[in-house]
Amino acid sequence: MDTNNKPTPVTLSKEDMQEVARERVSEIASEFTKGFEFLEHVTPSVTFFGSTQFKEDHPYYISARALGGKIVTDLKYSVLTGGGPGIMEAANRGAFETGGKSYGLTIKLPHPQIVNRYISDEISFYYFFVRKVCLSFSSEAFIFFPGGFGTLDEFFEMVTLVQTKKVAGIPIICVGADYWHALENYIGNELLSRGTITADDAKLFTITDNLDEVIEIVRKVPPRFHASFHTPSEIKKLESES
């Protein structure tokens, strides 16, 4: 076995580690600053999550495209996605085709990300967690379509933020009932039954394939622009009232 091509381990001194940490913190802070500056110009919006794999003839793609259009025509909101293909493209496309604002928060990957062509404005991130914060920060609602590990990671983080009242009053809507009911059953059979969540926790999201119902759920939420996240003082107030 040829071991000549193995990477040589790098040992950093304490001072080197501190310098790397300072540089990393500076990079992260810069990404957050640029992300929030970008969001200052975003009108009230709805964020879509879902798989990159669905093509334009897939029922999920067709549904996301139609819903993206309805978000614009019925609510006059903009659509925010990760800017890639699949569900992201479908939602951006629906908004774009109906004359609405269609934003993409893309990610820098080792292999180039496919950026869909239905974006009216975009910003690119290196750090996934910074991008995730920006995707959720100013949204009026989170709409989830079926997806893989990334979609489920985003889904459970948003559910956790709502559960812990880090975000307030933002609906989590899951479209693609055949997919989401299986997850709902797992949550009930494994998490709720073992006492790791409460019955109320299991009701933090809505599953529906009725696009008009999705619109009505979002319509009932007062626009909050960039005030969706609680400050520490607001969290203390909520805790004292609970």
CA separation for the pair 169, 200 (Å, rounded): 14
Q: What is the DSSP string of 77-112?
A: -EEEE-S-STHHHHHHHHHHHTT--EEEEEE--SSP
Whole-model pTM: value is: 0.84
DSSP, collapsed to helix, strand or coil, labels residue 123 as: strand
Looking at residue 135, the DSSP 8-state letter turns out to be H
Mind listing the domains of the chain with CATH numbers? 27-241 (3.40.50.450)
pLDDT in 10s for each residue of the chain, 242 residues: 455 666 666 777 878 788 888 999 999 999 999 999 999 888 899 999 999 999 999 999 999 999 999 999 999 999 999 999 999 999 999 999 999 999 999 988 887 778 999 999 999 999 999 999 999 888 999 999 999 999 999 999 999 999 999 888 899 999 999 999 999 999 999 999 999 999 999 999 999 999 999 999 999 998 765 444 455 565 556 556 55
Distances (CA, A) of 120 to 62, 101, 187: 20, 6, 38
pLDDT of residue 197: 97
pLDDT of residue 3: 53
Closest CA to 43 of 102, 97, 94: 102
